[in-house]
């Protein structure tokens, strides 16, 4: 993160207090890979009972740490003992040298923790195409104190993974699985190059529940679809997007073992997991590069939820819609345009639009007696709500979704024009 970046208008006054998660220890170290005078390397240790699931970028140019994580998920059967995340260098598009850097870092962490190589996961964020020297990371690993009984430094860890972020992102929730009280903590980074599929940028979710990897994966997929896959800043998918869900196993679940996602005992946990991931995902949008407003887009009446999502993203990614939001221009015709370009089945003559709860268009035309004044007042605010019903299948379709997006300001151009300086 550059110290001269203007802080997001949505930045909280302080990082939220996150409770301890038994069976793990997370902290921050300083390597100087790119930044000086600040932590830039998240390190975490997990108990031998810990299990992990992950989702990753859909980019055809994945980084070396993404390749390593995918390999270790399969080879290690969901076991995890260590995590390392560096900021400032993405270790992406770096060829064999990038793979060697990732492997050397992972082996150093495995040796330090007495773990198997397949139990180590890495992530990197920063500039693409620059060779990463692993020596500072290895030195930080060797000099750090790992202690599962130590108090985790959640604010430090969240700050360590920031690049152009202007505030650290974290959230926590609690839930019950059966009679057991469960904690879930999440931290994330992201500000630009934010678009779904998989998109999370970098996000790490930790729980003390004892859940097997075979359950963690569908749980993570479900929550990701409703959180990180429902946000966009600029429509660009990163090479490094990684989201890991780690269950430390510290809180055993009463018998019989949970084997299915629809087990009633998981209901509270599933909701809490989605809630905490939505929380940090929305924080990412609220810290979008140059952001001044948060756009919430509700789409209904699509053929299915996937179609609704694609329509919502067509609206949220439209430069014309985003700049109208930034300029507080109630130019709802741009929403019509975005729906039309989505490529999904929509009914022009049934399309309805609301902005800020005010009816703008209904059944394919502007509402009679439309008064723009209350819509214009809503557009002056920081949180803009758009609702569209696309009327597919003669108005009988039930597909729906919610998307969160940022506006587009001169600040985005300024940040990305000077990103490497």
DSSP 8-state secondary structure symbol assigned to residue 396: T
Is residue 16 in some structural domain? no
> Residue 340's domain is classified under what CATH number?
3.10.20.340
Q: Are 223 and 269 in contact (CB under 8 A)?
A: no
Asked if residue 395 belongs to a domain, the reply is yes
**Tokens at residue 406, please?**
């940022």
Please check whether residues 95 and 158 belong to one and the same domain. yes
Cβ burial of 181 (10 Å; 0-12, 13-18, 19+) is exposed
- Please indicate, yes or no, if residue 7 is contained in any of the structural domains: no
Residues 210 and 307 in one domain: no
Specify whether 43 is located in the same domain as 186: yes
Is there a single domain that holds both residue 342 and residue 282? Answer: no
Q: At which of 251, 286, 321 does a domain end? A: 286
Q: Please give the backbone phi and psi of residue 162, each rounded to the nearest 5 degrees, phi first.
A: -75, 145
Q: How many Å apart are CA 86 and CA 185, to the nearest integer?
A: 20
Same domain for 281 and 300, yes or no, is: no
Residue 248's pLDDT is what? 98
SS3 219: helix
Residue 41 lies in a domain: yes
Query: pLDDT digits over 318-345, tens only?
Result: 999 999 999 999 999 999 999 999 999 9
Residue finishing a domain among 286, 304, 337: 286
Inside any domain, residue 183? yes
Query: 218 and 332: one domain?
Result: no
CB neighbours of residue 373 within 10 Å: 9
- Active-site positions? 200
Within a domain: residue 365? Answer: yes
Same domain for 273 and 311, yes or no, is: no
Nearest-CA neighbor of 164 among 233, 223, 212, 211? Answer: 233
9, part of any domain: no
pLDDT digits (tens, 9 = 90+) for 189-203: 976 444 555 444 799
Rg (CA), the chain: 22
Q: Which of 237, 267, 286 corresponds to the end of one domain?
A: 286
Q: Whole-angstrom Cα distance, residue 32 to residue 124?
A: 14
Mean pLDDT, to the nearest integer, of 36-45?
96
Say what the pLDDT of residue 190 is: 79
- How many CA atoms within 13 Å lie on the side-chain side of 200? 31
CA torsion sign for 343, 344, 347, 353 is negative
Give the total number of structural domains in the chain.
Answer: 2
pLDDT tens digits along 100-132:
999 999 999 999 999 999 999 999 998 899 999
Do 161 and 258 sit in the same domain of this protein? Answer: yes
CATH number at residue 230: 3.60.70.12
Are both 143 and 198 inside the same structural domain?
Answer: yes
Cα separation values, 34 from 158, 163, 180, 270, 355, Å: 17, 10, 43, 38, 43
> Same structural domain for residues 405 and 334?
yes
CA-nearest of 289, 330, 250 to 166 is 289
- Provide the token pair at 327: 């300029």
Residue 84 confidence (pLDDT) above 50: yes
DSSP-based three-state secondary structure for 216: helix
Residue at token pair 């100087």: 32
Q: Check whether residue 277 and residue 333 sit in a common domain.
A: no
Residues 157 and 275 in one domain: yes
Q: Which of 152, 177, 72, 74 is nearest to 117 (CA)?
A: 72
Q: Identify whether 204 is part of a domain.
A: yes
The parent domain of residue 351 ranges over: 294-417
pTM for the structure as a whole: 0.93
């Amino acid at each position: 993160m550059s110290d001269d970046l203007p802080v997001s208008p949505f930045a909280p006054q302080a990082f939220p207090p996150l409770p301890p998660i038994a069976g793990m220890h997370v902290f921050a170290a300083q390597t100087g890979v790119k930044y000086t005078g600040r932590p830039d390397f998240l390190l975490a240790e997990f108990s031998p009972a810990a299990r992990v699931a992950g989702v990753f970028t859909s980019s055809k140019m994945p980084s070396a740490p993404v390749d390593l994580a995918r390999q270790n998920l399969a080879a290690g059967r969901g076991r995890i003992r260590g995590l390392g995340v560096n900021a400032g260098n993405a270790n992406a598009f770096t060829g064999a040298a990038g793979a060697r850097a990732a492997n050397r870092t992972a082996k150093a962490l495995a040796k330090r923790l007495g773990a198997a190589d397949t139990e180590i996961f890495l992530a990197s964020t920063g500039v693409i195409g620059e060779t990463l020297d692993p020596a500072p990371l290895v030195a930080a690993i060797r000099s750090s104190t790992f202690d599962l009984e130590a108090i985790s430094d959640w604010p430090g860890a969240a700050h360590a993974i920031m690049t152009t972020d202007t505030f650290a992102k974290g959230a926590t929730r609690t839930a019950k699985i059966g009679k057991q009280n469960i904690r879930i903590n999440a931290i994330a980074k992201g500000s630009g190059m934010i678009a779904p599929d998989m998109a999370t940028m970098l996000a790490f979710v930790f729980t003390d529940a004892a859940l097997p990897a075979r359950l963690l994966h569908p749980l993570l997929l479900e929550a990701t679809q409703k959180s990180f896959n429902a946000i966009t800043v600029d429509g660009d998918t990163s090479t490094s997007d990684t989201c890991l869900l780690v269950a430390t196993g510290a809180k055993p679940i009463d018998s019989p073992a949970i084997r299915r996602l629809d087990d009633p005992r998981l209901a509270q946990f599933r909701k809490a997991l989605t809630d905490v991931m939505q929380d940090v995902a929305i924080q990412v949008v609220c810290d979008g590069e140059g952001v001044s407003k948060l756009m919430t887009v509700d789409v209904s009446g699509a053929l299915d939820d996937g179609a609704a999502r694609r329509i919502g993203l067509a609206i949220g990614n439209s430069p014309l819609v985003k700049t109208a939001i930034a300029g507080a221009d109630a130019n709802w015709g741009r929403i019509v345009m975005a729906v039309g370009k989505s490529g999904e089945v929509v009914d022009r003559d049934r399309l309805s639009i609301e902005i800020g709860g005010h009816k703008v268009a209904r059944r394919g035309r502007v509402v009679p007696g439309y008064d723009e004044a209350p819509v214009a007042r809503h557009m002056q605010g920081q949180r803009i709500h758009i609702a569209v019903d696309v009327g597919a299948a003669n108005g009988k379709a039930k597909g729906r979704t919610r998307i969160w997006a940022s506006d587009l300001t001169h600040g985005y151009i300024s940040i990305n024009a000077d990103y490497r300086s």
